[in-house]
Structure 1
Amino acid sequence: MSPTVPFAALPIGQRDVSYEYGPDSAIRPDVPAGTIEELHLGSSERYPGTSRKVWVHRPAGHLADAASAVMVFNDGWWYLDPDGAVRGGTVLDNLAADGVLPQMIGVFVDPGVVNVDGVPTKHRNAEYDAFDDTYASFLLEEVLPEVESRYGVSAEPMNRGICGGSSGGNAALTAAWTRPDGFGRVIAFNPSFAQMPGGNPYPELLAAEAPRPTRVFLHAAHRDLHWNERAWNWFAESLDTASALARAGYDFRLVVGDGSHSPNHGGVLLPDALRWLWAEDHTDA
């Protein structure tokens, strides 16, 4: 039986829309909180001179020795913060309690910080916007081994996902594209493909190469930056990428919302994005 979507009035104005969070984004009294372990990476081979924090989330009842699925979240604490716009740990706790995800470890990775003339400066755009395998390899060869030294982690790419928004969305898709041996599932909220050095590479690449098993949940906001301009149109670049995914036969889902370049809608979508991304059978999804 097909699902029935409840009626929701269509907002007339599109720029300042705010979406209401669902029950999976709120702490539920019947769901025990998972554990969160904070790690500090004081150095990096891939990104010399950077340091960063990483948080490892495990839901209640997690079996430490079992080979767990992994979901990496770019912008670390910003995605984990229970009072923030995304509330990733709360969402993972609730979905684990409902049994809709495989046993999963959430790995929340902050962008690197580098010292510039004595001033701590985020290395975020250098890491997230680049079209190469540096960030993906950093995750696979420097971050995940820290997790694997503590807990069982599956080595299968389709048991490893990555999520991010804006430039973090770029990094998520690029990680799966450049290291398909490491990541098989992607969530990209409001990606900023237009600002990647050299422009958005994905429409051309997707048209030229054979499809991969990668699953992609892609979100775009109709009033994203430069939405009605010829150049640097963040909304149009997301649509172009979605069109290329469709023509190439990918297992993907596109959700378009109203509003501007805001984390709100992505945060609201996260529970259902994870449900869709990790569903075993997408033939009817």
Structure 2
Amino acid sequence: MGVVLSRWMKTACAVFVGFVLLQSLVSHAASAADVPKGEVTKHQFRSSKIFPGTVRDFWVYVPQQYTGEKPAALYVNQDGIQYNAPAVFDQLIASGDMPVTIGVFVMHGKVPAVNGETQLDRFNRSYEYDGLGDGYARFLIDELLPEVEKLKTSDGRPIKLSKDPHDRAIGGSSSGAICAWTVAWERPDSFRRVFSAIGTYVGLRGGQNYPTLIRKYEPKPLRVFLEDGTNDLNIYGGDWWIANQAMERSLVFAGYEVNHSWGDGGHNGKHATEIFPEAMKWLWKDHAAGIKVGKGSPQLQEILIPGEEWELVGEGYKFTEGPAVNAQGEVFFNDVPNSTTYKVGSQGVEVFRKETNNGDGQAFGPDGRLYTVAGQSRQIVATSPDGKVTEIAKGFRGNDLVVLNNGNIYVTEPGWSGTEPSKIWFIPKSGEAKVVDTGLKFSNGITVSPDQSLLYVSDSKSHWVYSYQIQADGTLSYKQKYYHLHMPDTADDSGADGMRTDKNGRLWVATRMGLQVCDQAGRVNCIIPSPNGKVSNLTFGGAEFDTLFITAGDRVYKRKIKVSGANAWQSPIKPAAPRL
């Protein structure tokens, strides 16, 4: 009897469970049927100037809730439609877990064969997706998305995309994932939410550098979701599983908003598709509140003040250079093509001197005069506070200079033509100018260590800043490629330009990537980008020399910081010993 009852109970339970599951499936089907379904349309884009000669398909998803009256949020995905995204968006928009969002699903470019009948198998995928730099970001922002906004839905609703970066997400798998990250990294003014599945952060086109750069750069306002599995690729370019973990650890270290889902899968979209709905919920959570910016590394926290941002000092110049500070903390700079020197005073920017013969690099000396490289007249001149100009040296076209506390001057002469040698000149306090070094590719920025025992010279056409020991007679010894700078993927050199040291012995270098801040051991600790992506030189101004001024193309910016500059015209100081 007990056995019969037991069997009966098992059968009853099975029937009951089956009934419950059936009810659940019926209920789910009913609720899914009730979810408003968006429209997906297919299009083609052929007129790229950034990737000329390519043709690509793209799809546009528009949710039913979108009215066309105001711009919608945006999600862009590389490699077309993945993760069952339109259906996921239907559900999440209906449940309120993501805003009304238009999806743009883009294929990589294909290159038509000469006869036009077939398309080359190489496509443009790795070139467009795996490379660092802003090329693909510009393609999306300046070319494709404006074309999307020319479209309409089948019922005539105009496509309007929000320009608020908090309203924009981007994602992809593998090479499409690193592409998504690169777009947001390069243009956080346009995209701030990233979904990355089995991302290719390995040595194909420079992606292996991201975990290092993330740790050094001033953090950007990005939120990132990473996905990968233990059986992902491990090939000639690197180990995807290890690389994605390195990305996650770097993002956490730098204080980013980051989440992840690790599985045991391989290089496919199975796991990403499974977790995509929850990833989207997390990426869009607290949408109205925006995305927080992390504090950055301990090294960044040592020099930057939370909440202090770049401020515009002046704009509308042709090309700014030569920022220099006097004993009162007043900053002077040159507009080189316009042969004008400006002073940043309490009432704003005012003209200090006109007709400078294309005044370029400059620095104050211990006598209070402003020493300037006059490029057009091939001179070094000194201007007293009352405006009197005195020639110090002539006969060569210099670039930048530094004046030491003892009155000695060092000047760089790059070798402007590309065929003449690059030189470093020494001008004693009393005496004739003479060459004390040659051999750099393009000697540019120049400064001294706080104790004025070492001369530093940046070589713009390399990734090095050279160090020399200054001898008692002013000559230079023990030349070393000492400071190792980062280079952008879009250039073959660092573009290192003007430099200054702070009282703690750090070297600040203006480069293509922004200000690279190096420790005394010659290592880049921090990278601080400028607001407009340009920087040629810097100085520390203000009464305490704790306001950073940069010349940046047609503009000049300033920013309050935690550290103070070491001025070469002051008495030498000995900073604390460097970290090992």
After TM superposition, is the score higher than 0.5? yes
Which structure has the larger Rg? Answer: 2
Q: How many percent identity over aligned positions?
A: 36
Distance 1:71 1:213 in 2: 17
Matched to 1:238, the amino acid is: N
Match for residue 8 of structure 1?
none
2:172 is paired with a residue whose SS is strand
C-alpha contact (below 8 Å) 2:200/2:207 kept by paired residues: no
Contact 1:39–1:54 (CA under 8 A) maintained in structure 2: yes
CA drift of 1:171 comes to 0.2
Aligned partner of 2:262 in structure 1 is 256
Equivalent of 1:244, from 241, 245, 250?
Answer: 250
**What SS does the corresponding residue of 1:115 show, helix, strand or coil?**
coil
Question: Following the alignment from structure 2 to structure 1, what is the Cα–Cα distance between the partners of residues 69 and 51?
Answer: 31
What is the deviation of 1:165?
0.4
Which residue identity does 2:249 align to in structure 1? S
Specify the alignment match of 1:37 in structure 2.
Answer: 41
Aligned to 2:177: 169
| TM-score calculated relative to the size of structure 2 | 0.41
1:178 to 178, 182, 186: 186
Counterpart amino acid of residue 202 in structure 1: Y
More displaced stretch, 129-138 vs 273-282? 273-282
Post-superposition shift, 1:65?
2.2
Aligned to 2:162: 154
Which consecutive residues of structure 1, in runs of 5 or more, have no partner in the other structure?
A: 1-22, 80-85
Q: Give the aligned partner of residue 78 of structure 2.
A: 74
Q: Distance in 2 between matches of 1:184 and 1:196?
A: 25
TM-align CA RMSD:
2.1
User: Which one of the candidate residues 58, 64, 69 is aligned to 2:62?
Assistant: 58
Deviation track 1:163-221 (CA, whole Å, cap 9, x = no partner) reads: 10000001010000111111111000001111431341211111111111100001111
Q: Which amino acid aligns with 1:92?
A: F
Aligned partners of 1:65 and 1:151 also within 8 Å: no
Structure 2 residue aligned with 1:192: 200
Deviations 1:117-162 (A, max 9, x none): 5541321111110111111111111111122333221111111110
Contact 2:55 2:112 in 1 (8 A): no
Residues in 1 aligned to 2:210 and 2:191: alpha-carbon distance in whole angstroms? 17
Q: Say which SS state the counterpart of residue 251 (structure 2) adopts.
A: helix
1:4 corresponds in structure 2 to none
Whether the 8 Å CA contact 2:228–2:265 is kept in 1: the answer is: no
Give the equivalent residue in structure 2 for 1:18: none
Measured in 1, the distance between the counterparts of 2:170 and 2:47 equals 22
Structure 2: runs of 5 or more not aligned: 1-26, 151-157, 293-580
Q: SS state of the match for residue 29, structure 1?
A: helix
Indicate if the aligned counterparts of 2:131 and 2:207 stay in contact, CA closer than 8 A.
no
Specify whether residues 243 and 142 from structure 1 end up closer, same or farther in structure 2 by C-alpha distance, changes over 3 A only: same
Structure with the larger RCO, 1 or 2 (CA within 8 Å, 6+ apart): 1
Aligned pairs for 1:1-40 within 5 A:
28-40=32-44
Q: For the residues of structure 2 that align with 1:70 and 1:54, how far apart are their CA atoms?
A: 14
More strand by share: 2
Classify the secondary structure of the residue corresponding to 1:46: coil
User: Distance between the aligned counterparts of 1:199 and 1:167, measured in 2?
Assistant: 10
* In 1: Cα distance, 2:211 partner to 2:190 partner: 22
Structure 1 length as normaliser, TM-score?
A: 0.82
Distance 2:245 2:236 in 1: 14
Which position in structure 2 is the counterpart of 1:134?
A: 135
Q: CA deviation at 1:230?
A: 9.6
The alignment partner of 1:44 has SS state of coil
User: Secondary structure of 1:253's match?
Assistant: strand
Letter in 1 for 2:90: D
Please list every run of at least 4 consecutive aligned residues from structure 1 whose deviation after the TM superposition is greater than 6 angstroms.
none
Structure 1 residue 69, shift from structure 2 partner: 0.6
Paired position in structure 1 for 2:102: 105
Q: Residue in 2 aligned with 1:214?
A: 222
Task: Decide whether the 8 Å contact of 2:65 with 2:100 is kept in 1.
Answer: no
Separation (CA, whole Å) in 2 of partners of 1:88 and 1:222: 24
- Tell me if structure 1 keeps the 8 A contact 2:61–2:103: yes
Amino acid at match of 1:139: L
117-126 or 203-212, larger mean C-alpha shift: 117-126
Equivalent of 1:266, from 272, 289, 309? 272
Between 271-280 and 144-153, the greater mean CA deviation after superposition: 144-153
Q: Which has the higher helix share?
A: 1
> How far, CA to CA, are the matches of 1:140 and 1:199 in structure 2?
22
Contact 1:164 1:172 in 2 (8 A): yes
